[in-house]
Structure 1
Amino acid sequence: MASRQRTVKERELRTFAQQLFVAAGVPEEHAVLIANVLVWSNLRGVDSHGVLRIPGYLARLESGLTNATPKIRVTSDLPAAAVLHTDAAFGQVALARASEIAIQKADAAGIGLCLVRHATHMGAIGYFTLEIAAEGMAGIAINTSRPNMAYPGARTAGIATSPIAIAVPGATHAPLMLDMATATQSMGKIQLARDAGKTLGEGWAIDAEGNPTTDPQKAVIPTPLGAHKGGGLSLMFECLTSLMVGNPLIAPFLEDAPSAKNHMQNGLVIAIDIAKFGDLGTYAKEVDRLACSIRSLPRAKETKEILVPGERGDRLLEKRRTFGIPIPDGTWKRLKDVATNLSVDMPSFE
Structure 2
Amino acid sequence: METQQKKLYVSASDARAFVEAVLCGNGIPHDNAIIIADCLIQADLRGVDTHGINRIPSYMARVRKGVLDAEASPSLNQITPVVAQVDGKNGFGFIAAHMGMAKAIEMAKEFGIGMVSVKHSNHFGMSAWVVQQALDADMMSLVFTNSSPALPVWGGRSKLMGVSPIACGAPAGAEKPFILDMAPSIAARGKIYKAARRGEKIPLDWALDADGNQTDDPNKALLDGVMLPMGGPKGSALSIMMDVFSGVLSGSAFAGHVVNPYDPSKPADVGHFLVALKPDLFMSLQEFKDRMDYLYTRVVGSEKMAGVERIYYPGEIEQLVHEERLKTGIPYVEAEIEALNQEAERVGVAKIVTSIGY
**TM-score (norm. length: structure 2):** 0.92
Q: 185-194 vs 239-248, which deviates more?
A: 239-248
Which among 342, 348, 352 is matched to residue 343 of structure 1?
348
Aligned residues of 1:195 and 1:328 also touching (Cα < 8 A): no
- 1:216-235 alignment to 2 at 5 Å? 216-220=218-222, 221-235=226-240
In the alignment, the residues of structure 2 paired with residue 58 and residue 327 of structure 1 have an alpha-carbon distance, to the nearest angstrom, of 19
Residue 207 (structure 1) aligned with residue 209 (structure 2): yes
Residue 272 (structure 1) aligned with residue 277 (structure 2): yes
Q: 111-120 vs 339-348, which deviates more?
A: 339-348
In the alignment, the residues of structure 2 paired with residue 194 and residue 201 of structure 1 have an alpha-carbon distance, to the nearest angstrom, of 13
Q: Secondary structure at the match of 2:247?
A: coil
Q: Secondary structure at the match of 2:125?
A: coil
In the alignment, the residues of structure 2 paired with residue 46 and residue 100 of structure 1 have an alpha-carbon distance, to the nearest angstrom, of 23
Give the length in aligned residue pairs: 345
Q: Secondary structure at the match of 1:141?
A: strand
In the alignment, the residues of structure 1 paired with residue 187 and residue 335 of structure 2 have an alpha-carbon distance, to the nearest angstrom, of 19
**TM-score (norm. length: structure 1):** 0.94
**What amino acid is the match of 2:217?**
D
Q: Secondary structure at the match of 1:201?
A: coil
Q: 336-345 vs 157-166, which deviates more?
A: 336-345
Alignment gaps of 5+ in structure 1: 255-259
Q: Secondary structure at the match of 1:242?
A: helix
Instruction: Give the equivalent residue in structure 2 for 1:112.
Output: 114
Which among 232, 243, 248 is matched to residue 243 of structure 1?
248
Aligned residues of 1:194 and 1:330 also touching (Cα < 8 A): no
- TM superposition shift of 1:76: 4.7
In the alignment, the residues of structure 1 paired with residue 67 and residue 219 of structure 2 have an alpha-carbon distance, to the nearest angstrom, of 25
Q: Describe the superposition over 1:247-277 as per-residue Cα deviations: whole angstroms up to 9, x where unpaired.
A: 23225579xxxxx974231011100011223
- TM superposition shift of 1:282: 0.5
Aligned residues of 1:118 and 1:247 also touching (Cα < 8 A): yes
Instruction: Give the equivalent residue in structure 2 for 1:257.
Output: none
Which among 82, 86, 89 is matched to residue 88 of structure 2?
86
Which among 270, 290, 309 is matched to residue 314 of structure 2?
309
Q: Describe the superposition over 1:231-261 as per-residue Cα deviations: whole angstroms up to 9, x where unpaired.
A: 101111111121112223225579xxxxx97
**What amino acid is the match of 1:35?**
A
Instruction: Give the equivalent residue in structure 2 for 1:298.
Output: 303
Q: Secondary structure at the match of 2:14?
A: helix
In the alignment, the residues of structure 2 paired with residue 10 and residue 252 of structure 1 have an alpha-carbon distance, to the nearest angstrom, of 36
Structure 1 residues 299 and 251, CA gap change in structure 2 (3 angstroms): closer
**What amino acid is the match of 1:326?**
P
Aligned residues of 2:258 and 2:268 also touching (Cα < 8 A): no
Give structure 1 regions of 4+ aligned residues with deviation exceeding 6 angstroms.
none
Q: Describe the superposition over 1:94-130 as per-residue Cα deviations: whole angstroms up to 9, x where unpaired.
A: 1110011101111122111000001111101111111
Instruction: Give the equivalent residue in structure 2 for 1:331.
Output: 336
Instruction: Give the equivalent residue in structure 1 for 2:134.
Output: 132
Alignment gaps of 5+ in structure 2: 260-264
Structure 1 residues 47 and 253, CA gap change in structure 2 (3 angstroms): closer
Determine what percentage of the aligned residue pairs are the same residue: 28
Q: C-alpha root-mean-square deviation of aligned residues, in Å?
A: 1.7
Instruction: Give the equivalent residue in structure 2 for 1:284.
Output: 289
